[in-house]
Amino acid sequence: MADTDTVTHLFTLATAAENAAEAMYLILAQRFAPYSEVARFWHEMAHEETVHARTLERLKSQIRPLAYGKWARVDTGIGTGLEIRLQRAGHILGSAYVECRITTPNARHRVIFSGDLGAAHTPLLPEPEPPLGCHALVIESTYGDRRHEGRADRVRRLQRVIERDGSPERR
């Protein structure tokens, strides 16, 4: 988990890059001033960079690192209790799904938000932490309609490629 100073530094660098891009676009707009359509394009690009930099500055003050597996209270501003916990998704390094505990005067609910989830038994990635139930599940499903080759078949195919000469097999 990155510490707060590291996250803040990365946002500062990103903001500086946006400001540099804005300055470059303004120079281009000035250079192409005789060509109004081109100059207008570069002015619009500069404005977008200004908006990006302002957004990054606002976000920087709101971001805080969270450890996996630990509940953190979120101020909703409306009196509803909200706690979140990040759990390992195992999809890519650092990926997580978010467990939410929502408490109102009349009820408690658990909601889970997730993108892609990884599979078990991968050599480089940690195992995903399975959730223990919820009232609602919100999950991304880009590849939900595809049949995937089994892990054992992929391992055999990779082994054949390695044992040949490293070139992919043709189908």
- The pLDDT tens digits of the residues spanning 4-18 come to 677 778 778 888 888
- In residues, how long is the chain? 171
Residue 137 has pLDDT above 60, yes or no: yes
What is the full DSSP assignment across 30-72? HHTTTSHHHHHHHHHHHHHHHHHHHHHHHHHTT-----BT--E
Residue 1 has pLDDT above 50, yes or no: no
Lowest mean pLDDT among 43-47, 60-64, 70-74, 153-157: 60-64
Per-residue pLDDT, 143: 65
pLDDT tens digits along 82-120: 999 998 887 777 778 889 999 888 888 999 988 777 676
Alpha-carbon span 89 to 98, nearest angstrom? 9
Residue 127 has pLDDT above 80, yes or no: no
pTM of the predicted protein model: 0.55
Please report, to the nearest 10 degrees, the dihedral formed by the alpha carbons of residues 63, 68, 70, 75 taken in order. Answer: 20
Residue 164 has pLDDT above 50, yes or no: yes
Between residues 136 and 170, which one has the greater pLDDT? 136
